[in-house]
Structure 1
Amino acid sequence: MFPIAFTEALDEQRTWIVPAGETLPGDVGAEVTALSGSSKAGDVTVLQRPSRRPARVLVAGVGDGHEAGWRAAGAAIVRALDDDEHAQIRLPDDAPEAAVRGLAEGLWLAAYRYRSAPRPPRTGTVEFVVSDSSAYAHGLAQAHATATAAWLARDLTNTPASEKTPAWLADQVVAEAATRPGLTVTVLAGDQLERFGGLRAVGGGSVSPPRFVELSWTPPGVESPRHVVLVGKGITFDTGGISIKPRDAMKLMKKDMGGAAAVIAATLAAADLSLPVRVTALTPLAENAVSGSAFRPGDVITHYDGSTSENTNSDAEGRIVLADALAYAAERLRPDLVLNLATLTGANAVALGKRTAALYSPDDALAQALKAAGTAAGEQMWQLPMPTDYVDYLRSDIADRISAPQGPGSVMAALFLRDFFGDTTWAHLDMSAPSWAESADGELTKGATGWGARTLIRYLSTLDGSQ
């Protein structure tokens, strides 16, 4: 990511940027006042000053001044700047810390480019002009950790499935964890997955065998810290298996590990920010392929907890692998809280559109806290019900449940997963739709959005270390 720093003085050799309604010194101030740039968040008005200094001035709308408006301004500013342009943003004297965090997140997130793209990286820089940088250093550090996590989640999700095998993705986690103290990684494969019947079934049709990754952050010096387990679906490519997808539905299925990418990135960010909470990310990784060894509709799968599921649709594989991971968490880790993220159902997009995840939790206080974190982070979610009478749809004649009953798809998937959370407090986020953007929009760039990483970081940052 390009550097963002603080300075106390404007430099006429750089491009000047000012929020709408603010003033600048000298003759340029009068020109900006006369320009009357839009105050709508994300609008940028450009004042060209050939043969003068500064040569360009940008007036950026920040809306009502809340963090979301500053984030939108940052995203619009970075798109208005050339790759090699050096710029300064003069902030009001009374700007809150959220202004710096929002601006920096918008600048960095909208500047993202997938690492394999042919366009060169940005060489320009941005400075925030403030009188006392110490008041904003924490906000900038939070923005940097958040943007770093989102970039990683986007990189992992954008990586083509020809490269992104379960083993490759596990190796990326090991490599990232090695750069940060306080993190440990365990990777299970082969015979170590004996009890993971769902993961073995879904991954059994691929020449690239499955993996199960456990990434843990333990804060130093915190006695008996609160333990949050993050579970993320990690299907590195989803053909639909024997219940094969049509072409148009399959072409973007490299993104079917977006939940795993988000929980991995958020756990790494917990270490970067030294959060006083224990965080464990669990990612069941598999490729759902078509072959003679692929699992079949009608198969009965035995999960980690010994319960069984009758597979009725091999394209509903996500819940099958997540069941093992959730049961593992309940038995082996005994967490205080479990948050599950998955690109789980197309029904999510049908119900809520392209920008909103479906939220399920029996704990309304947790649901409200997650929604608040998502709002602050700029990621939308909506809580949906889990009607108890729908449980009857899950009944099987030959197993404890069926995997994919008829009915409301996203709700039925949540009810299926409910059996595996154990007695802990939990929430499930079906984030298939907002995990991908068809075009640039605000702080999002075309392709993987890294959805969920920012929300998780915000939420984890609200927790103290005590149980």
Structure 2
Amino acid sequence: MPRDDVILDPRTSTWSVTDRLEDVLATTVSEGAVLVAPLAPGDDGRCAAVAALTSLGLDAALVLETHEPRDTAGTVTTVPLAPGAHAVRRVLLVGTGDGSVDAWRAAGAAVGRATRGSARAVHAVGGTVGTGLASYVEGAVLGSWASPRWTTEGATSGAQAAVEAVVTGTQDADGVARAVTRARAQLVARGLAHTPSNTKNPAWMAARARAVGRATGLEVTVWDERRLRRDGFGGLLAVGGGSATPPRLVRLDHEPPGATASTPRVVLVGKGITFDTGGLQIKPTDGMLGMKTDMSGAAIVLAVLAACRSLEVPVRVTGLLALAENAVGGASYRPGDVVTQFGGTTVEIGNTDAEGRIVMADALAYADAELDPAWLVDVATLTGAARIALGRVAAPVFATDDALRDALVDAGASTGETLWPMPLSDTYRQALDSDVADLNHIATGVGGGAVIAALFLREFVGTRRWAHLDIAGTGRSDVDAGISAKGATGFGTRLLLRWLEGMR
């Protein structure tokens, strides 16, 4: 990996599993070691904590009476121990609430934060967590991470996860490894989105894609500005025209072992605006501050493709990264321009700050015309309307196929990434009619901004089974809490991986 490997190779714990807690404690050096034990409401819910405390030679009843730990999901009570007296220096009693997968995920995230900087974290949860084990591990990996910092040494980790993490009471090494892989993919997406835009431009993202391809066995193809012009990608060229750093289109291909021409193909398309000034219709200052994360969709798609081989995704997966910087310059595209998208559809530009749908249209049209996907899914920080409608709680999902929509919603329910089905209402379609081109870029005088954007994108997918995830709200977090760190969240990464893993 290149020097910025904390972005593509985020620092996480080395995870392992073992049946017996006692065996792990026998090889644990107390300095820097932590034991994590779960708590749930009622006496039965405290059995695991009692067993863990007893294994250290402690009077469990006295410890619980003295520290009065709460069992609310994600609540951590720290029990410090005397140096050298026991196998660990601290015991963390973590609340698991009602024992749901969401509660276990919250518990894991809290523990991930609480064990930062530890040499070894022993998680005595395997025998109690059940189906929530993957959620707990994902939460712990996500919670242990903080945004990288850029110093004189380059990109450096924002937090140090526990060096080693051991889950006791289980033999599900594969389930733990898969959970770590999914969570690490989300951290890759976050790190890419957090990278400052004076470093991160379309060419930089293309170089990262090539590095990922070399490391994970993906085939990578890159269109530079000359090839984009030759092949007719007018949307990418229009949006990127005002920038000193030209646009790129990146294609990544995962081929499972034994794949043939009849193996189904999934195409994932990610919006990759590496910085968004709004173009000639420039954003106010406050609206521009977070725009380094406007390429989160492309970051998510790249991270998903990078994890496909490790997770043994059984179908062919192609990722398309539509990369451009929406800047202000002499060659900026203008309101009233007519842009010819890939495939020949002409679009009348209504607002240069609605650039995402223009670059996405090129990639979607290419996927429809050239790749013959069985399923086509795009992910984008696309509309303020989505954020206003659902806030940070859920992302709208629009789809031309009910089965695809439901599968994505179910995958999101399993990962805590909630999707909210929204209608592709043809009532709004006429608002996209243009007097001078095939389509209007935006609609004026009507509401439903997220619906209008989805209807616009639908024009470029033909008859494909297609879904559109608008993560403008869920793609960013204002706080460092739960499984999210402040800034880009990588929302949708684990969801898409769970969906792809399920295609067996």
Shorter-normalised TM-score: what interval?
over 0.9
Partner residue in 1 for 2:17: 6
How far did 1:92 drift? 5.3
In the alignment, does 2:257 pair up with 1:220? yes
Which residue identity lines up with residue 9 of structure 1 in the other structure? L
Structure 1 distance, partners of 2:159, 2:308, is 30
Structure 2 distance, partners of 1:424, 1:198, is 21
Provide Cα deviations, 1:69-110, integer angstroms capped at 9, x if missing partner. 2211111112223513532121253542x3332222111111
Q: Larger deviation: 221-230 or 280-289?
A: 221-230
In the alignment, does 2:372 pair up with 1:341? no
5 Å-filtered alignment, 1:349-428, equals 349-406=387-444, 407-428=447-468
Aligned mate of 1:74, from 105, 108, 116: 108
CA contact (8 A) 2:386 2:473 kept: yes
Aligned mate of 1:145, from 175, 181, 185: 181
Gaps of 5+ in 1: none
Q: Larger deviation: 267-276 or 288-297?
A: 267-276
Structure 1 distance, partners of 2:327, 2:453, is 21
Specify the SS of the correspondent of 2:79: strand
How far did 1:409 drift? 1.1
Structure 1 distance, partners of 2:123, 2:280, is 55
Specify the SS of the correspondent of 1:192: helix
Structure 2 distance, partners of 1:84, 1:414, is 46
CA contact (8 A) 2:203 2:248 kept: yes
CA contact (8 A) 2:431 2:443 kept: yes
Give the 3 Å change call, closer, same or farther, for CA 404–42 of structure 1 in structure 2.
Answer: same
Which residue identity lines up with residue 144 of structure 2 in the other structure? A
Partner residue in 2 for 1:189: 224
Give the 3 Å change call, closer, same or farther, for CA 268–280 of structure 1 in structure 2.
Answer: same
Partner residue in 1 for 2:6: none
How far did 1:383 drift? 1.1
CA contact (8 A) 1:4 1:104 kept: no
Partner residue in 2 for 1:46: 78
Gaps of 5+ in 2: 1-11, 40-45, 151-155
Provide Cα deviations, 1:426-455, integer angstroms capped at 9, x if missing partner. 100110111111111211111111111111
How far did 1:154 drift? 0.5
Give the 3 Å change call, closer, same or farther, for CA 317–418 of structure 1 in structure 2.
Answer: same
Structure 2 distance, partners of 1:252, 1:95, is 37
Structure 2 distance, partners of 1:144, 1:120, is 17
CA contact (8 A) 1:233 1:283 kept: yes
Give the 3 Å change call, closer, same or farther, for CA 94–248 of structure 1 in structure 2.
Answer: closer
Aligned mate of 1:163, from 199, 220, 228: 199
Structure 2 distance, partners of 1:331, 1:154, is 31
Partner residue in 1 for 2:3: none
How far did 1:33 drift? 4.4
How far did 1:386 drift? 1.9
Structure 2 distance, partners of 1:85, 1:300, is 59
Structure 2 distance, partners of 1:113, 1:436, is 14
How far did 1:422 drift? 1.0
In the alignment, does 2:158 pair up with 1:112? no
Partner residue in 1 for 2:134: 101
Structure 2 distance, partners of 1:434, 1:201, is 28
Structure 2 distance, partners of 1:292, 1:222, is 47
Instruction: Tell me how many residue pairs correspond in the alignment.
Output: 459
TM-score (norm 2): 0.88
5 Å-filtered alignment, 1:77-92, equals 77-91=111-125
Which residue identity lines up with residue 5 of structure 1 in the other structure? S
CA contact (8 A) 1:32 1:59 kept: no
Structure 2 distance, partners of 1:342, 1:437, is 15
CA contact (8 A) 2:146 2:159 kept: no
Which residue identity lines up with residue 81 of structure 2 in the other structure? R
In the alignment, does 2:161 pair up with 1:128? no
Provide Cα deviations, 1:225-262, integer angstroms capped at 9, x if missing partner. 21100001111000000111111001111111001111
Q: Which runs of 4+ in 1 moved over 4 A?
A: 117-120
Provide Cα deviations, 1:366-392, integer angstroms capped at 9, x if missing partner. 211111111111112211112212111
Provide Cα deviations, 1:164-194, integer angstroms capped at 9, x if missing partner. 110000000000110113x100001122112
Partner residue in 2 for 1:207: 244
CA contact (8 A) 2:145 2:160 kept: no
Aligned mate of 1:236, from 262, 271, 274: 274
